[in-house]
Structure formats: C-alpha cells, structure tokens
A and B are shown apart, each in its own frame.
Chain A
Amino acid sequence: MTEKAQKTKNKSLVLRLLGVVLGMFLFGFALVPLYDVFCEITGINGKTRGQAIYQKTEINKTREITISFITNTNRGMPWDFKPLTNVMKVHPGEMNEVRFYAKNRSQEAVVGQSVPSVSPGEAALYLNKTECFCFDQQLLAGGEAIEMPMKFYIDADIPEDISHLTLSYQLYNVTEAAVTVAAQ
C-alpha cells in the first residue's frame, strides 16, 4: 500500500474512533437523566410522585398499613424538625393527616426544602400526598416555629406483601439559592 493510501486509511479509522470517544463522553452526561428514567420505569428509587388528587375509592378496612415518619436535617440547617406523630396505622384508600413541627433556631431567616424518601422503594408509588410542605420551599424568620400539615392516602391496590412503610424527610438549607432566584 502506498504511504498516501495508508495515511488515508488511518485517518478515517482515527476519525471513527474519535467519534466513539465523543459519544461515550456524551453518554456519561446522558447517564444523568437516564438514571432518573430508569428509576421511574422500575419505580425502585423510593422517590414519591408530586402532588396527588384524592380519588374517592372504597376504603379497604380489612387491611392495615403501618406508616412511620422520620426526619433529618442536613449539616448547615439550624432548624428543629420532627413529626408530631411517629407511627400511624391506616387503611388503604383512606385520607389521613400528619403534622410536622419546624423551628428556626438561628437569628436570621432561613429557607428550607424537604426531600421525601420512602422505604421500601417499591412502596413509594402507592403513597399519594395531596398536601405537603415538601412541595414548596418554607421560609422561617429567625426564631420562628410552625406546624406543617401533610395529607396523604395509600393506594387501595398496594401489594399484599407491603404492610409497613417508612416516610423520611430530609431538610436542606436552600436560603442562598432562594435568594438568587428572588433577585433574578
């Protein structure tokens, strides 16, 4: 093969391989939304859905589901945050309310965002919240305390083998981000 032909052959292969490199770099970034898609399809992430609307269905009084509530605050979050009810026994299809207490222990105003998580992961799909403080950011002035309600119902068709759910809220300090958005 002539040197020119060799160089042309090499160049075309190099370009194709560089295409693979670029493709895999983009794939790395594509993994970010793909991760969410995978979790949504399989429902195994423990992420709850957004605001639900109450479907009036038959309340299944024969089944009792135990639901526990736990809370966590992130480092840098100077709030007290706890559920006012730790454990509830509910029936699928029945509307329930639980209240959470939050107090800003610091002197300045702080904005908090709660992120829910459900265990076991599969149960997340069956927990429907119609009203939740986690849908919005909460602003508390220095020293202010509030009670926040959360209204939910559990789907009537929750699988038989789930009898206990734990709903966890992690509270994050988003004051900086909220201020930036407000200023824009």
Chain B
Amino acid sequence: MTQPHLDSTAQPAIALRELGFAYGAQTVLQIPEWQLPVGERIFLRGASGSGKSTLLNLLCGILSPTSGSLSVLGQDLVRMNGSARDRFRARHLGVVFQQFNLIPWMSVRDNVRLAVYFAGGQRDLEQHLRELCAQLNLPLDVLEQKAGRLSIGQQQRVAVMRALINRPEILLVDEPTSALDQDNRDGFMRLLLQVVEACNATLIFVSHDQGLAEHFPVQLELSDLNRAGRAV
C-alpha cells in the first residue's frame, strides 16, 4: 500500500521553535528556532555528546520535547499522542543509525517486512524491494540471508533500503559510515545520495566527520543551533 504523501509543498519539512529537552535537571538541547524546507539535503555536524542523537530522537518522535514546539511535515508532534507518533514515524520517517540497524537473527526480508508492517503494509512490496536492491547495488539473494551474516557495508545499505521502504518524506541518517573503510564510505555516500535523489526525500545527515560535508549542498553546525550548555 502506498502511503498518501502529505501535502508538504506549503509546509517546511521540519519547523521547531524554542525547542528544549532535558534529562532530569540536565538540559541537553535548547534550540530557539530552526526550519528545514522540503527536499533539502543537509549535513548536520556535531561532536559526540552534542545532543545530535537526542535531536534525531525528537524529530522522529521517540522522545517528546520538554518545552517548545516541533512540527514535522506540518504535523505538530508535541500534540500527537504516543501511538499517533509511532504511526507517523513508521510512515513518514526513515532512520539509519551508526550501527545495529537490523535485527541480526532475522532475514533481510523479514527486517524490511517488519518496517512495512509497522507502516500498515504495502501492496507492491516485492517489486519495490527489487528496485531498491538494484539502486543500492545489493544482490537479490541477500534478501534471504540473516542480517547478522552480512558484511558491515551490506548491512548499512540494507539499512538504507529498510529506511526507504515505506517511501518516507524524510530520511534521518546518523553516522552511517563510521564503521566503514574509506572506499566503502565513498561508495556508500554516492549510493545514498543517488537513491535519496530518486526518492525525492528530505535528508538530514548527522556526522562528526567534516570530510563527508563535501557531499552536501547545505551544511550546518549543531552547536550554532543549540544554546544548551552555553552561558546565556
């Protein structure tokens, strides 16, 4: 089943204002304002512990902000209840992490089907899988293998496939290349950008590695956004 894409022409992909998040007494994020237009491909640089994972978790609705407003694709995530956020995340956001993107004891196909299941199913799944495999340079027989058996490079490409399977409007990618060597890294980046181009998704790429910034037209420093920890 194809998801009806939200009418996102008028709305920014992401809009937040006075967004704050604290673990207990410790404020991790405090962002006065940030907007990201639809279709943008952005490199968000942040050192470890700068709050980038927290930001990603907020954007996909796993965490709720302590204060402020946050809307994604025009939907107010703060007002949504938990299960609506879970559904929204499944349908409209794809996420690729640094590692452990796949459940190692399930086959690649089952890993992908799990994502489809949470998004409510998909009619042309097989066709779509074949297309994505071709785009990501994955042999078709990889689908039947246990995810844990694949090489790291393949695992990360499968993770991209899984993230894109529900045709999300937004793709969040967090340090996907840190476990890859130089050759694999360049190959991965090329494929990622190609496939995102083909899907016409908004991409937020988070990394501490300045060397990857060259792939992106827009670059942003998380510390420029985040006021937390600074003297006001």
A and B physically associate: no
